[in-house]
Amino acid sequence: MKPPTDRSLALGAYVYAVLAFIIVPLVIVIPMSFSQNDYLAFPPSGFTLKWYSEYFDSRQWRAATWLSVQVALLTALFASVIGTAATYAMIRGRSRLVTAFQILLIGPIIVPHIALAVGLYLFFQTIGLSGTIPGFVLAHTVLTLPFVVFTMAAALGKVDPNLEAAAMSCGATRFQAFRLVTLPLVLPSLASSALFAFIISFDEPVVSFFLSGVRQKTLPRRMFEDIEQNLTPVIPAIATLLIVLSILILLGAHVLRSRSVTR
């Protein structure tokens, strides 16, 4: 006889209730973004695209989005290059800096973002980086580096060091061996770490909140102000677009992972 199934049924019901709690608030913004209601009442009524056109037609929203796109692209580039170089050095190098590296790596994850945000707000104001693209990019690079390093450490750790040694014994320099042998093997992981760095930077709210100037505001900062002050129905439209972006990023990372030989 099988053990009674009502216990597992109860578990299943509980789990699906929790999953509904997780997913429903995300999904709910999608019908709201097409609602003709001006004041965000539930249930949504009718169908309109006017909130989307309000977003795309607004100079302020466009400027904030464009700033965030630039910052996120540069952050993805810097974080993946700096992170990969450091990870490679830690794995292949003869370094006594391992402990320092690990502590500094965990730092930006452990230390509350509000602390870093306030510290950078003060520091960047004195050196004129507040509200500038380089300022945002530097801050976001620090926040995304740990994620790049975790991804690249997993990938680089699986590449046999003998492959590079073999290439070098055939006359390749260290750099050639890396570029022609190791890099192609870890390229999918490198690309997915860049994707993750992009989305973390693009959605980063706290540091951006403090570093944004009166004129230079990232998309999350503009959204924060809108939600805080008047909560217009443009927010569900932007939220829907951001959810679609997250889905695309995760799909991209998934495809890259399934392509990866070092998986």
Partner 1 sequence: MMKTGRSQFWHSDGRRLSGLSTLLLLLPFFAIIAFVFVYPILQLLVISVLEPHPSLDNYARVVENPVHTRVLMRTLWIATLVTALSVVLGFPVAYYMSRAKGTVAALVAVCVILPLWSSVLVRTAAWSFLFQRNGLINSALMALGLTSEPFKLLYTQSAVVIAMTHVLLPFMILPIYGALRSIPNDYGRAAAVLGATRLRTFLEVILPLSLPGVVSGSLLVFLTALGFFITPALLGSPQEMMISTLVSKQIREVLDWPFAAALVGVLTVFVTLLAIIFSKTLRFDRLMGNAS
Segment 52 to 81, residues that bind partner 1, using CB under 8 A: 81
Output the smallest distance, CB 132 to partner 1, in A.
13
The C-alpha angle 40, 43, 46, rounded to 5 degrees, equals 85
Output the smallest distance, CB 21 to partner 1, in A.
7
Residues 125-164 that bind partner 1 (CB under 8 A): 138-139, 141-142, 145-147, 150-151, 153-154, 161-162, 164
Among 106, 180, 255, 261, binds partner 1 (CB under 8 A): 106
204 phi and psi angles, rounded to 5 deg:
-65, 120
- Residue 48's SS3 state is coil
The residue among 59 and 96 lying less far from partner 1, judged by its C-beta, is 96
Output the smallest distance, CB 56 to partner 1, in A.
18
Round to whole Å and give the CA distance between 179 and 164: 10
111 phi and psi angles, rounded to 5 deg:
-65, 130
5: Cα separation from own chain's centroid: 41
**Should residue 12 be labelled a site residue for partner 1 when binding is judged by CB under 8 A?**
yes
What dihedral angle (degrees, nearest 10) is formed by the CA atoms of 103, 109, 114, 118? 40
**Should residue 43 be labelled a site residue for partner 1 when binding is judged by CB under 8 A?**
yes
The residue among 98 and 261 lying less far from partner 1, judged by its C-beta, is 98
**Should residue 99 be labelled a site residue for partner 1 when binding is judged by CB under 8 A?**
no
Residues 161-180 that bind partner 1 (CB under 8 A): 161-162, 164-165, 168-169, 171, 174
Round to whole Å and give the CA distance between 82 and 77: 9
Round to whole Å and give the CA distance between 107 and 102: 9
Residue span 207-246 as binding mask against partner 1, x where in contact by CB under 8 A, dash where not: --xx---------x--xx--xx--x---xx--x--xx--x
Q: How many residues does the chain have?
A: 263
Among 9, 49, 115, 261, binds partner 1 (CB under 8 A): 115
Among 1, 6, 22, 215, binds partner 1 (CB under 8 A): 22
Name residue 69's amino acid.
V
Output the smallest distance, CB 38 to partner 1, in A.
12
The residue among 56 and 123 lying less far from partner 1, judged by its C-beta, is 123
The residue among 43 and 46 lying less far from partner 1, judged by its C-beta, is 43
124 within 8 A of 130, measured Cβ to Cβ: yes
Round to whole Å and give the CA distance between 93 and 103: 18
